[in-house]
Each structure stands twice: as C-alpha cells, then as structure tokens.
Amino acid sequence: MATIAIFLRPSAKGAAFPGSVYIRVIHRRKVLTVTTPYRLYVGEWDVGKSRVVFPPGTEASRKAYLREAVEKIRQDWKHLQEHILLLDSKEIAYTVCDVLDILRYRSSRCMLKAYASCKATELQLQGRERTGEAYLSAARSLLRFNNGRDIPLSNLDASLMRHYEAWLKGGGRSLNTVSFYMRNLRVLLNRAVSEGLIESPVINPFSQVYTGVQTTRKRALSKEEIRILDKLDFTRDNKAEKNSGLRQALDIFLFCFHARGMSFVDVAYLKKSDVREGLISYIRRKTGQLLEIRITPAMQALINRYTEVTAGSPFLFPLIREADKPLRRQYLSALRLQNSHLDRIARMAGLQKKLTTHCSRHSWATIAKGEHLPLWVISEGLGHSNEKTTYAYLASFEQTVLDKAVEKVSRAIKKAG
C-alpha cells in the first residue's frame, strides 16, 4: 500500500522567507512529490505533527490564508487516501504516478492531459483498460501535434480540430485512424461538459472533421482453409519445444472460431469458474454483455489439451500465467506472440491470407452466412447489440462473392467466343 507524508521545504533564502509545502508519496520503493500552492514560514509548520500552526500575533489576513492552507492540505490528504484504498481494493498493479494522478487532475482538471489520465484510471478500475488506453492515445496524439504542450479542454474548438486533422493526414494517417482519435477526443470533451468542468461549445468542434468508419476489406477463411489448419502437423521436424508455441497458437485460434468467433481478449481472460454444466458464461470485455456458449466436442478437446498446463491457474488457457502480476500486460504480450505465431502458421499452411486473432471471428461470421443462417442468429452469436451492427460487419465480405461473380461471367464470355 502506498504511504503519504507532508513536509515543509524551507526557503533556500533563509527562515525570513516562506517555504513550500509538498506531499510525498512512496509506493514500491518509488518516491514522487507534488508541491502544493501554499507558502509557509518555518514558524507556521509543526514538523513533528506535519501540520500548520498559528503563531501568536498572527494577523487576521494571514490567519485566513493559513486556514485555507489547512483545508486544502486536509482535502488533498483525504483524496489521496481514498484513491489509494480504491486502487488497493481493485487488486490491480499501480504505480506511484497513478496515486498522484488524482491530485494532478484536481489541480488542473480542465487540462486535456490530466483529464484524459484521470478518466483512463477510472476505466482501468472498472476493467475497461482498452477504452482508457484509447483516451490516452488520442490525447497524446493531439499533444504531439501541439509540440508537447498541454491544452485546456475549452480550447478544443473547430479550428484546432481542422488543423489537427490536416496534420494527421499529412503524416500518412488513415481515415480510420483520424476518426479513432477524433471520436475519443469528442467523448472526453462531452464528458467534461457533462461534469460541468467547461461550457458546451457553441459550434461542434468535430462537425468539420472525419469521425466515420471507412469499411476495410476483411480476410475471412473458407471452410476448406479452416480444415487445412485443423489438420496441420507440427511434429514432422522433431522440434517439439519450438513448435509447442505454434500448436498452442493454432489451438487458441481454432477455439476462438468454434466458440462463435470469441475475441482473443475474452479467451485470454476466461476462467475455469466461467465453465459450468457444459456452458461457458462470460462478460464480453468490449461491450460488457453477458454471453453463454455451449461447449462443443471440438471446444472440449482443445480445453482438455491444456488441463495439466493450467492446473495451478484460475485461467482456462495458459495465456495469462501469473495472477499476481498485471493481467493487462500479460494479455498484450500474449496477443503479440499469438499474431506472430499465426503469421508463421499461415505460411506453413500455404494460405495466401494474413492470419490474425480477429480472423477467426470474421471466418465464423462469413461461414455462418454462407450456411444461410439468419442474420439475427449470427448477430446473437457474435454478441452484437443489434442486427445493424452485424450487417455492417458482414458487408465487406460481399466483395469476395462479387469478385467470384465477375470471374464467372468473364469465363462464360470466353467460352462463348
């Protein structure tokens, strides 16, 4: 647990000049300090009890200043203690910087950097690290555009956003990346308005910049390609230890596919306690939606393969291996390794497509559509909130069908000639 202490740093000019009151936080042998705006003389500070005192003969105006300092220091101490208790209660790894974020936020809560950091911390405590990282990523990008200088939230106007968009495009950013940053900045601004930190802008700062989503062509696997992966042999070159990582990566990919296109992040965080009476019940991390999946024989076989490896772990698969260390960091490391292995697996299988963790989800949706399953069934299976989302999700797959139609017509013309 982090510890807090308050000190008076005497002025270098001597006792005749006021010094600075500062707060020191220690956590995991790391020490950081934050200086309060209050300046006190040596006689106005009790070193033993770390508190403000009122020397005899103190003038009324000075007493008012000291009372204000007492109240401010008391509030800072209280907010820090509450914040530390909250961080500890969530049983997540945090740094001394995370502790001080609450004070930086309160002292400059109308500035983009501090506000984004505070919102990201709140989301982390709710288990929504990905959204918090998106806020921080957008804020950092805008600050890079502003040469590293922080920006008051009230300065996020239409003119700034237009110039920022031009800078992003000039740097080769795609429209989807531009939209990603703009939409997250818009959320931060709207939240600041709803919290009463700033007034609502007269003109929407984001009305003249791109905030849409440009459809990108998805690379889904066919039934035949899934079969090729399922039959892939990793034992031919007798490099069992080296190939065990590839075997695991493919098993996780196939499990994602058979589990109705379950996202890799949800598989990584699956716990044995989520499995009951042949069902997997889990909360989808992206949407917070509760989903239930019946375990098929194919899924059970993949789970059984890792029973011994995960014997001492609460997790179903060996992707997050140490429950007492930051889970998010382990997940991101597993994700990078998974995609690296899948890239090699695609080459081994002779696939002419890029294989990624998300490809299993696209593949399940595409094959389900090819089997003429109703749209609402596919939507339920993917955990989408409505069929409109599923329709947009599947729209990019239609291009493959159209490409084949064009080829078929071309061949028919050649035969006719």
pLDDT in tens, 42-94: 999 999 888 999 999 999 989 999 999 898 888 888 878 877 787 777 666 77
Q: What is the pLDDT of residue 263?
A: 92
Please, which pLDDT band fits residue 400 given cuts at 50, 70 and 90? low
Q: What is the pLDDT of residue 180?
A: 95
pTM of the model: 0.59
CA distance from start to end of the chain: 81
Whether 392 has a pLDDT exceeding 80, the answer reads: no
Percent of the chain with pLDDT over 90: 42
pLDDT digits (tens, 9 = 90+) for 215-234: 655 678 889 999 999 998 87
Instruction: Find residue 4's DSSP bridge partners.
Output: 25
Q: What is the pLDDT of residue 253?
A: 95
pLDDT digits (tens, 9 = 90+) for 233-291: 876 654 544 567 899 999 999 999 999 989 999 999 999 999 999 999 998 887 788 88
Whether 327 has a pLDDT exceeding 90, the answer reads: no
Coil, strand or helix at 43: helix
> Of the ranges 90-99, 229-238, 302-311, which one carries the lowest mean pLDDT score?
90-99
> Residue 377 corresponds to which tokens in the numbers above?
């069934």
Q: What is the pLDDT of residue 195?
A: 75
Domain 223-406: give its CATH code. 1.10.443.10
Instruction: Find residue 8's DSSP bridge partners.
Output: 21
CA–CA separation, 332 and 318 (whole Å) = 14
Q: What is the pLDDT of residue 279?
A: 93
Please, which pLDDT band fits residue 197 given cuts at 50, 70 and 90? confident
How is domain 109-214 classified at the CATH fold level? Answer: DNA polymerase; domain 1 (1.10.150)
Please, which pLDDT band fits residue 96 given cuts at 50, 70 and 90? confident
The larger pLDDT score, comparing residue 190 to residue 409, is at 190
CA–CA separation, 81 and 27 (whole Å) = 13
Query: Angle 387-395/375-382 helices, nearest 10 degrees?
Result: 90
Instruction: Find residue 156's DSSP bridge partners.
Output: none
Mean pLDDT of the chain: 85
What are the sequence ranges of the domains in the chain? 1-107, 109-214, 223-406
The larger pLDDT score, comparing residue 108 to residue 29, is at 29
